[in-house]
């Protein structure tokens, strides 16, 4: 495979490397990810994270393993192991379904390579289209609020919700971005703050619990988030804390937009209740860890509930901003995502 570089993925001499998203922003550290156990470990640890990126990294690794001589049966097993690495973001399953079709072809080595590269190029184009469509909804002088990380780190392109915000900022329409730190793993505080800083977009970091009072004070004009899975009725699974923002937005009359590519759609999933929600380790809630070290503040045996995602019902969403354009609540109740 040719040399390849996105914000978070790199291929050199047929080896895959990932940008360690747990080490950012203190350290920019590239780690090898050239075997299935290694990539699965990176995905579990959220060194590789974000719905589109998880799917793209798994697809790229399969293509590289094929090029490096792995046989068809072993690749088929690798594909299923990668598919099971995280349960909620459907981009992984959607991407791997396409890789599975490529694996069934006679010249599966070339087919897997072509498909993985196509997925990367498509993701860049999907992000650009989302940004174009979403930026039309941003009014001049906007103070936007975002949650988790939906930028270039989480995709092969400019990102989803963060891509919208970045383009709207280039168009001179964004005054400030409120960045939820996004407990427990701090994707907002560590990654979104870093990306917005790199892009020169003005932002202020807040703890998740500060969003309500900002809305009450009239300091938030719209909320933009990404998605890990969009069910057929328009319900959206996204990072834990998204649902509370949507409830708050409804109460305060603030538009709540979800930005996602078509790879995040799951027409086979009837509604949010059917979306599998990943439960994660207690240590993520009882303390914090990163390249700065690790600390635990809760009692040693504290009992913990730690779902990585929640579901926002379609009734709380003002618009689904896809690469194909803005989908309205009326379209969604008319069965738009069931097609
Ligand atoms: O657990 P993470 O960090 O992978 O969760 C990421 C999110 O919830 C994002 O909002 C979502 O994947 C969209 S990324 C473009």
The residues lining ligand 1, judged by C-beta closer than 6 Å to any ligand atom, are: 46, 49-52, 89, 148, 150, 154-155, 160, 187, 226-228, 238-239, 308
Q: Compute the average pLDDT of residues 267-288.
A: 97
What pLDDT, in 10s, does the model give residues 217-261?
999 999 999 999 999 999 999 999 999 999 999 999 999 999 999
For residue 107, the CA-to-ligand 1 centroid distance in Å is 34
* Percentage of the chain lying above the pLDDT 70 cut: 100
Choosing from 24, 90, 148 the residue with most ligand 1 atoms within 8 A of its CB, the one to mutate for a pocket test is 148
For residue 276, the CA-to-ligand 1 centroid distance in Å is 15
Rounded to whole angstroms, how far apart are CA atoms 232 and 234? 6
Q: Looking at the predicted structure, is the pLDDT value of residue 339 above 80?
A: no
Mean pLDDT, the chain, rounded, equals: 97
Q: Closest Cα partner for 188 from 92, 306, 313, 49?
A: 49
Band (1; pLDDT cuts 50, 70, 90): confident
Residue 323: Cβ-neighbour burial (10 angstroms; 0-12, 13-18, 19+): buried
What pLDDT, in 10s, does the model give residues 18-56?
999 999 999 999 999 999 999 999 999 999 999 999 999
Place of tokens 């999907």: 126
What pLDDT, in 10s, does the model give residues 45-96?
999 999 999 999 999 999 999 999 999 999 999 999 999 999 999 999 999 9
| Binding positions for substrate | 49-51, 86, 187, 238-239
Tell me, what's the pLDDT at 88? 98
For residue 23, the CA-to-ligand 1 centroid distance in Å is 17
CB hemisphere CA count around 71 (13 angstroms) = 2
Tell me, what's the pLDDT at 207? 98
Q: Which residues contact 71 (CB under 8 A, 6 or more apart)?
A: none
* Percentage of the chain lying above the pLDDT 90 cut: 98
Tell me, what's the pLDDT at 291? 86
Which positions are annotated as active-site residues? 228
- The dihedrals phi and psi of 123, each to the nearest 5 degrees, come to -60, -40
Tell me, what's the pLDDT at 86? 98
Choosing from 53, 238, 306 the residue with most ligand 1 atoms within 8 A of its CB, the one to mutate for a pocket test is 238
Band (212; pLDDT cuts 50, 70, 90): very high
Q: Closest Cα partner for 240 from 188, 197, 182?
A: 182
Say if residues 74 and 36 touch (Cβ distance below 8 Å): no
Can you give the pTM of this predicted structure?
0.97
Q: Looking at the predicted structure, is the pLDDT value of residue 334 above 90?
A: yes
């Amino acid at each position: 495979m040719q040399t390849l570089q996105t914000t978070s993925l790199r291929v050199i001499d047929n080896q895959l490397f990932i940008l360690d998203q747990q080490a950012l922003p203190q350290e920019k550290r590239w780690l090898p990810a050239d075997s299935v156990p290694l990539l699965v470990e990176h995905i579990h640890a959220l060194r590789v994270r974000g719905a589109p990126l998880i799917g793209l990294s798994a697809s790229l690794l399969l293509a590289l393993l094929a090029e490096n001589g792995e046989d068809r049966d072993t690749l088929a097993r690798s594909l299923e192991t990668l598919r099971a690495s995280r349960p909620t973001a459907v981009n992984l399953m959607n991407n791997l379904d396409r890789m599975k079709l490529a694996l069934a072809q006679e010249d599966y080595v070339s087919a897997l390579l072509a498909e993985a590269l196509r997925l990367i190029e498509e993701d860049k184009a999907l992000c650009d289209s989302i940004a174009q469509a979403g930026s039309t909804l941003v009014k001049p002088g906007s103070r936007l609020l975002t949650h988790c990380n939906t930028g270039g780190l989480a995709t092969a392109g400019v990102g989803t919700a963060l891509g919208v915000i970045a383009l709207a900022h280039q168009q001179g329409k964004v005054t400030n971005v409120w960045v939820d730190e996004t407990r427990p793993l701090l994707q907002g505080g560590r990654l979104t703050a870093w990306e917005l800083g790199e892009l020169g977009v003005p932002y202020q970091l807040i703890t998740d619990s500060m969003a309500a009072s900002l809305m009450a004070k009239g300091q938030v004009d719209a909320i933009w988030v990404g998605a890990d899975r969009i069910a057929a009725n328009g319900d959206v699974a996204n990072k834990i804390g998204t649902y509370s923002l949507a409830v708050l937005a409804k109460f305060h009359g603030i538009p709540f937009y979800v930005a996602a590519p078509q790879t995040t759609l799951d027409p086979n999933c009837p509604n949010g209740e059917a979306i599998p929600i990943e439960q994660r380790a207690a240590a993520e809630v009882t303390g914090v860890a990163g390249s700065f070290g690790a600390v635990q503040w809760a009692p040693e045996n504290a009992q913990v509930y730690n779902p990585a995602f929640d579901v926002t019902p379609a009734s709380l969403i003002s618009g689904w901003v896809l690469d194909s354009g803005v989908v309205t609540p009326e379209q969604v109740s008319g069965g738009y995502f069931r097609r």
